[in-house]
Amino acid sequence: MNVNGNSFSLAYSPCPNDTYIFAALTNGLLDDAPRVRVVLDDVEQLNAAAARGAFEITKISYGAIPFLMDRYRILRAGGALGRGCGPLLVARPGHGERIEDFAGKRIAIPGERTTAFLLLQLALGGAPAVVVERFDRIVDAVARGEADAGLIIHESRFTYRDAGLVSVADLGAWWEDASGAPIPLGAILVRDDVTESDASAINTAIRRSLAFARTAEAAIMPYVRRHAFEMNEEVMRQHIGLYVNDYSDDVGESGMAAVRELFARAHAARLLPAAVNARFLA
């Protein structure tokens, strides 16, 4: 509980997994929970805002975390890890069948600090030529021929076939085969100037918010629908079912080990300037 009665700035994406997890906390449906001032934005914008220390609590890509550990620590609740939920590399039919076919081609990505782009670089063994697009615009950019391939996340995973695209590589499957670990996609960070007791209360409130959503979906789904880019009910349900799981409640030892493995591999591949100490809330 926020014993001082202050409110905390909280930023997360409008994607269904985030709005599902945070709906009860955001909308004052939890008794004795910290009060929050909420900003919703695309995850790459949140990555950039975190580099400025803009928010006390923020959703972030694991690909950005190595550059933020000097001012934030990682909460155990509210994040996105799992299996079978990684980013996909998609393209128009006939433009390449393997990820190696796109090593020298132009790829639309959802951001240079996203976990998706970090995984792509690890899989390719280096950085390809890229154009940065907001995640929900990538499928159309590829379909129009503005990029040779696209790295898709979030709802686009369920809708890219509607635009006539095909999957070239499942980078989540690549990661799981290479490491044996679940895929660390996104986390909730708390800024270092938030006290340990308040950070712990926030972590508990996120877990309570998720538990509320699971038992009272009728109360929170209007909020989820209001912010979703893809309004199809089935897509929203698929999205929540894929990205909201046991790791959302607590990253656990296996999740923390997966994060350390990701950072170690990125450092070994010289994609990170230094070894990273992933600081999780105790």
Q: Which residues are catalytic?
A: 154
Determine which helix (DSSP H) or strand (DSSP E) holds 54, and give its type and residue range: none
HSE on the CB side for 255, CA within 13 Å?
Answer: 24
168 burial level (CB within 10 Å; 0-12, 13-18, 19+): buried
What Cα–Cα distance (Å) separates residue 74 from each residue in 63, 167, 196, 267, 269?
Answer: 13, 32, 12, 19, 24
Q: How far apart are CA 278 and CA 65, in angstroms?
A: 8
Backbone torsions φ then ψ of 103, nearest 5 degrees: -60, -35
Residue 33 and residue 10: Cα distance in Å, rounded? 13
Kind of pairing between the strands at 57-61 and 7-12: parallel
Distance CA 153, CA 115 (A): 10
Nearest C-alpha neighbor of 160 from the set 169, 170, 150: 150
The token pair that represents 60 in the structure block? 């972030």
What tokens were used for 201?
């209360």
Residue 169 β-bridge partners: 89
Contacts of 270 (CB under 8 A, 6+ apart): none
Residues 269/118, Cβ–Cβ less than 8 Å:
no
